[in-house]
Amino acid sequence: MATTITINERTKARLADYKLGDWTFDDILNMLMDRVRIEDISAEHIKEHYRRLSDFQGVSKDEFRKRIRTKLKKSS
C-alpha cells in the first residue's frame, strides 16, 4: 500500500541521484536503510541527549509555572 511522505525539494533531488534503472524511491530508501544500522543512529541520538543534559539548567517549580503562564498568555 502506497503512502505519501513530506520531504524537502533538495532531499528529493538527492534521492533522485541514487535512482538507477527502474528503482523507485521506496527501493532507494530501503537500500539506504539496509546499509545503516538503526543502532548507529540511536547511538548518535543518545550521545546528543546526554550532551544536552550536561548543559541543562533546571528551574524551580514556581519559575516553571510562571514561564508556562507567560507562554499561555502570549499564545491566546
pLDDT band with cut points at 50, 70 and 90 for residue 8: very high
| This prediction's pTM | 0.52
Query: Using one digit for the tens of pLDDT, what is the confidence trace for 17-31?
Result: 999 999 999 999 999
User: Average pLDDT for residues 46-73, to the nearest whole number?
Assistant: 88
Query: Domain map of the chain by residue range?
Result: 9-75
User: What secondary structure does DSSP assign to the chain, as a single string?
Assistant: --------HHHHHHHHHT--TT--HHHHHHHHHHHS-HHHHHHHHHHHHHHHHHH-----HHHHHHHHHHHHHHH-
Give the per-residue pLDDT at 13.
96
The listed range with the strongest mean pLDDT (21-25, 54-58, 71-75) is 21-25
